[in-house]
Amino acid sequence: MREYTNIYVDGAWIPSEGTDTIDVISASTEEVIGRIPSGTAADVDKAVAAARAAFDGWSTQPVEERQKYIQRLQEGLDARGAEIAETIAGEVGMPITWSQMIQAGLPSGNMATFAALLDDFEFEETIGNSLVVKEPVGVVGAITPWNYPLHQIICKLGGALAAGCTMVLKPSEVAPLNAFILAEIIDEIGLPAGVFNLVAGTGPEVGEAIAAHPDVDMVSFTGSTRAGKRVAEVAAGTVKRVALELGGKSANIVLDDADFADVIPKGVFACYLNSGQTCTAHTRMLVPRSRYEEAVEIAAGAANAMVVDDPFTEGMHLGPVISQSQWDRVQGYIETGIEEGARVVAGGPGKPEGLDTGYFVKPTVFADVDNSMTIAQEEIFGPVLSIIPFEDDDDAVRIANDSLYGLAGGVWSGDPDRAMAVARRMRTGAVDVNGGGFNIAAPFGGYKQSGYGRENGHYGIDEFLQTKSLQL
């Protein structure tokens, strides 16, 4: 049980102006494992004032000094990596083996990357008689999700600190405990007071106050498209900059010359990682009609072979989804898929056998899916795969792009040139070509209703900078 009674503002742990608290529920046991303050708009006012007061000093620090703090923060994340992995395994339900690699490992790796990038990042250039300088945007309000909670915080915090910005963070109230560990690390390394501030609470209270605040210069939000639209709407009142990383319904195109026995199971896993609670999950598998039943059979076999188990059991299995409301949402989509005529070939409604406690979902595969169906158009955020037939490469691209979203995708082919040709035509922010791995130094972000702005690498620093030209 982790209980936090204070928020972190201006370099100190202080009581919230509110009196309410929020319970943090274990995804696997359904028990209370933590408690945090439910912050208020008055808390946001204090945090923003602290960030504003700290901005001039932090933004004018030599780059080498900012870099040292980022390096210390990375070292602190490493030192508490096991604790972070265990905490997130409890909050989110990602199995501990994966949590160690992803939920704890990626944030540390990202922070190290931001530090390294500052070795030669160009903050100014000369164009003719003009000196063009990149300056920090100011006070950043960060609103982050629960599925990869610390990773998404670090994507914003690392880039903002490197750029010279100060920050007010509202982590997800569903998985907030890792953010408090981060604040403890920040306090321990002596980051100047006010550079980082943590106000826990709900979106309607704390999130809206951050988005609306006149002294917040930029809001960086990761979450659902519905919530992102609201953030943009509220932020428009003060014409502040907004970066949005939203939902996805990514297509994984398997061309007819691919090795189905090898790539179809990999495609299933690309849908199911983190129990499908991944914005980039490849939830639509597009396969040639000529080999459709073969693909369905392989995918069903891969799904049926997936082990679902306690997240604190070592191994490469799946854990639960995060909450009762998320479990209900996923079950609703499975029922809708059946009602609309899709064929369940693996999984289906209900919980896996022997896992009655916890928010566990059967890894599910739907065949006979038309791209117009609800399960092919809406983000489910659970381990549910839809397999859709196509006629040829042009038809595959058409189906892949027939979506409100454009965050990620994949393409598999025995011919690398053919795979690249298809990948270039996909209207999405990232494409895995023949299983290319995630690159924390490459830009991450979406097209269409998957949002705008980019995180990671030098793009993730640029996001928090604005340009000024000095005519000489």
Q: How far apart are CA 143 and CA 235, in angstroms?
A: 13
Q: Return the exposure string of 386-423: e unless at least 16 CB atoms fall within 10 Å of the residue's CB, then b.
A: bbbbbeebeebbebbbbbebbbbbbbbbeeeeebeebb
Q: How far apart are CA 369 and CA 389, in angstroms?
A: 8
Residues 6+ apart with CB under 8 A from 65: none
Amino acid at 64: E
**378: its two tokens:** 């809406």
Q: Which one is catalytic: 279, 379, 455, 463?
A: 279
Alpha helices in 254-409 (DSSP H): 260-272, 292-305, 324-339, 374-377, 393-401
Question: Residue 165 catalytic?
Answer: no
Amino acid at 462: D
Q: Which one is catalytic: 91, 205, 208, 245?
A: 245
**211: its two tokens:** 């988005």
Q: How far apart are CA 242 and CA 139, in angstroms?
A: 12
Question: Residue 173 catalytic?
Answer: no
Task: Calculate the alpha carbon distances from 125 to 129, 249, 453 in Å.
Answer: 11, 39, 22
217 in Cβ contact with 138 (< 8 Å)? yes
284 in Cβ contact with 251 (< 8 Å)? yes
Q: How far apart are CA 97 and CA 86, in angstroms?
A: 10
Active site (catalytic) residues: 245, 279
